[in-house]
Amino acid sequence: MAEKYLIRDGDDEVVVEIERREGAVLARREGSEAWREVQLERIGESDLYVLMVDSRPIELYLERRRGGAVVTIGRHVFDYDVAPWRPAAKAASR
């Protein structure tokens, strides 16, 4: 069974499902048919990470904070709140 997480970026919300199968981690947006294989690896002791999505690398800086993270990809900065998904969580936040 997949784990679900509610991710917020300002007023935008998305539910992401994560599933572990045979040593691989798969992710998809709730309602999507397509699962994507994902892997996140830290580079050294820095905040630099490589996120592999279906074998395509994305370099990012990840600054963890209570309740989420600030993610920098290139010159774009995203401030995400992340929490375990609860059936009433999406309806209650509106």
Whether domain 3-92 has CATH 3.30.700.30: the reply is yes
Burial environment of residue 1 by CB neighbours within 10 A (0 to 12, 13 to 18, 19 or more): exposed
For the chain, the structural domain boundaries read 3-92
Task: Please tell me the predicted confidence (pLDDT) of residue 87.
Answer: 78
**What are the start-end ranges of the E strands in 43-85?**
48-53, 56-65, 68-73, 76-84
- pTM for this entry: 0.78
| 18 within 8 A of 6, measured Cβ to Cβ | no
* Contact yes or no for 36/54 (Cβ under 8 A): yes
pLDDT (tens digit per residue) in 74-93: 999 999 999 988 876 555 55
